[in-house]
Amino acid sequence: MEIDTEDEDTNAQRFRAFAAQCRRLARNASGTDRAVLIEIAEAWIVCAEQAEREAKRRRNGRPVIDSGPRDRA
């Protein structure tokens, strides 16, 4: 998997595609596997949202500040 550090819009699309793939796999998974795949899909969505925020900041001429991973708990 290649992440483009300069094109957050493309990354956001890619991350959303990964989330969709996890959800598709979860449909046929059972029990714990389904739960894990759904959790991974949610994490990809968080990544996509972050990439979209960063893309918006860049378009508005604001510096992108990497605050690192966030604990969602």
In a domain, 53, yes or no: yes
What pLDDT shows up at residue 50?
A: 93
In a domain, 72, yes or no: no
What pLDDT shows up at residue 30?
A: 94
Structure tokens at 42: 């949610």
Task: Say if residues 47 and 10 touch (Cβ distance below 8 Å).
Answer: no
Structure tokens at 43: 């994490």
AA letter at 42: E
The number of folded domains in the chain is: 1
In a domain, 50, yes or no: yes
What pLDDT shows up at residue 73?
A: 46
In a domain, 24, yes or no: yes
Residue ranges making up the domain that contains 12: 8-59
What does each of the 73 residues of the chain score in pLDDT, given as a tens digit?
A: 555 556 788 899 999 999 999 999 999 999 999 999 999 999 999 999 999 998 888 888 866 555 555 554 4
AA letter at 66: D
In a domain, 70, yes or no: no
In a domain, 48, yes or no: yes
In a domain, 1, yes or no: no
In a domain, 12, yes or no: yes
The answer to whether the predicted template modeling score (pTM) of the entire model surpasses 0.85 is no
